[in-house]
Amino acid sequence: MSAPDVRGAVLVLNAGSSSLKYQLLEPHSAAVLASGIVERIGDDDAGATHTAGDETAEFHGALADQHAALETALSLFRETGIDLGGAGLAAVGHRLVHGGKDFYRPTLVDDGVVDEIERISDLAPLHNPVNLAGIVAMRKLLPDVPSVAVFDTAFFHDLPAAASTYAIDREVAQQYSIRRYGFHGTSHQYVSERVTEYLGRDATSVNQIVLHLGNGASASAIRGGKPIDTSMGMTPMEGLVMGTRSGDIDPGVLTYLQRVGGFDAAEVDTLLNRNSGLRGLCGENDFRTIDRLISDGDDNARLAYDVYIHRLRSYIGAYLIGLGEVDAITFTAGVGENSPTVRADALDGLSRFGIHIDAERNTLRSKEARTISTDDSQVTVLVVPTNEELAIARQAFEVVEGQ
């Protein structure tokens, strides 16, 4: 197969603490020209797998950091016949977790933007520094290709003050930029736009709830295209029970652990980010394993599932009330797209609220957007696959095109 034409394509990067995921996309047609993942960055046994059409390439060896990971990715591109350094790549789109107060649009990166992102890195110490390392490396490796930062918080920047404000001392909140920022915004925006498109409705006339249930999980309430509430807060820890994060917890537990258990900030962080949620409750964070454990009669897995559903239903209830009238409830991301049981239990017994899931439609598997409610359900219940990479590619493309 001949190498694809990369003119006008966007390379989307999602740099994590020890991994780097990337896709090369054509933003208009949504065609994926190549994709890959580099794992165990920082280790001697790092690995990378890369696919471009029918061609694949691999790497095994030591990779010190994001720069080395990106260098490797670019050489895997070359092995499959794609020279990203040649003319034509429209942009590199970078996923940035936290935009703080000031970044709420896709932003063309220059030295000043790099400094600003660095300045706010304390807001998301697990994510932003490593996202930034990806930007810095890319600007060195492909200096002629514009980098665009797309922020996970951006969609929620204009949440109503009542939803974005924590009830704490206002001066402390101001001094430390403490507010509810919300996350997974790229997904909530993309999916909610797909929903209005799918329903053939004008975005301004649709009230909807989007449930992004992946390893991280968040819910949002969107009125006429604008979010009015979301479950994640200052950090991605608030809200729903997640794979390894606790979601909502009485803040008194944290001070209690510090006082009585001798936990320091890093230990609290690790507890709530990595050793809580489903994993904290039953040792597993993948729903496929949890389903199996439940079938085998594992009580901890059952409890983990019940806590997960209980919290999810609480948020759905809050957003039904917050919106008043709801046209659509949509499930997305790994769990939302793949678990009929979670979808059925999340919305069980809500016929009084005009919500009726069709049992057969709910169990059909598909990669397409689809309705899973009955024809006479007042609220349309949908499954819509998210595509954050495509959303980032399109936003990055728009920024460079508007230059």
Output the known binding site. 14, 21, 95, 212-216, 286-288, 334-338, 388
Binding-site sequence positions for ATP: 21, 212-216, 286-288, 334-338
Q: Which is nearer to ligand AMP, 322 or 334 (CB)?
A: 334
- Return binding residues for substrate: 95
Which residues fall within 8 angstroms of residue 390, CB to CB, at 6 or more apart?
25, 27, 30, 190
Return the range that interacts with ligand AMP (CB under 6 A); candidates 124-132, 153-161, 282-290, 323-331: 282-290
334 binds ligand AMP (CB under 6 A): yes
Q: Rule CB under 6 A: is residue 292 a binding residue for ligand AMP?
A: no
Work out how close the CB of 339 gets to ligand AMP at its nearest, in angstroms, rounded to a whole number.
4
Farthest CA pair distance, the chain: 64
Our finding on whether 338 is near ligand AMP (CB under 6 A) is yes
Nearer to ligand AMP, 111 or 368 (CB): 368
CB atoms within 10 A of CB 178: 17
User: Footprint of ligand AMP on residues 209-268 (CB under 6 A)?
Assistant: 214-215, 243
Phi, psi of 382 (to 5 degrees): -130, 160
Q: Residue 344 Cβ, how far from ligand AMP at the closest point, in Å?
A: 13
287 contacts ligand AMP (rule: CB under 6 A): yes
The active-site residue out of 115, 152, 264, 291 is 152
Question: C-beta of 32: minimal distance to ligand AMP in Å?
Answer: 16
Q: Is 177 in the site for ligand AMP (CB under 6 A)?
A: no
Please state the closest distance from residue 312 (CB atom) to ligand AMP, in A: 14
Closer residue to ligand AMP in complex, CB, 164/238? 238
CA pair distance 379, 353, nearest whole angstrom: 8
Measured from each CB, the residue nearest to ligand AMP is: 334
3-state secondary structure of 97: coil
From CA 86, how far away is CA 144, in angstroms rounded?
A: 9
In terms of CB distance, is 14 or 285 closer to ligand AMP? 285
Q: Is 60 in the site for ligand AMP (CB under 6 A)?
A: no
Place of tokens 């924590």: 166
At position 36, the amino acid (one-letter code) is G
Per the structure block, which two tokens stand in for 121?
Answer: 């890195």
Give long-range contacts, CB 8 A cutoff, 24+ apart: 202-206: 206/327, 206/328
User: For residues 280 and 264, what is the distance between their CA atoms, to the nearest angstrom?
Assistant: 19
Q: What are phi and psi of 292, to 5 degrees?
A: -65, -45
Which residue in 7, 28, 288, 310 binds ligand AMP (CB under 6 A)? 288
- Find out whether 335 and 359 touch, Cβ atoms under 8 Å: no
Stretch that binds ligand AMP, among 105-113, 233-241, 284-292, 391-399 (CB under 6 A): 284-292
193 binds ligand AMP (CB under 6 A): no
- Collapsed DSSP state (helix, strand, coil) of residue 69: helix
Strands 370-371 and 55-61, sheet pairing: unpaired
Stretch that binds ligand AMP, among 220-228, 229-237, 286-294, 366-374 (CB under 6 A): 286-294
For residue 298, indicate whether it is catalytic.
Answer: no
- The 3-state DSSP class for residue 107 equals strand
Give the 3-state DSSP-derived string for 295-342, with helices as H, strands as E and coil as C: HCCCHHHHHHHHHHHHHHHHHHHHHHHHHCCCCEEEEEHHHHHHCHHH
134 near 126, Cβ under 8 Å?
no
Please report whether residue 339 would count as binding ligand AMP according to CB under 6 A.
Answer: yes
**The one segment of 27-35, 129-137, 296-304, 327-335 that binds ligand AMP by CB under 6 A:** 327-335
12 pairs with which residues across the strands? 23, 93
User: Site mask, ligand AMP, residues 5-44, x = CB under 6 A?
Assistant: ----------------------------------------
Residues classed as catalytic: 152
- Residues near ligand AMP (CB under 6 A) are 214-215, 243, 285-288, 333-335, 338-339
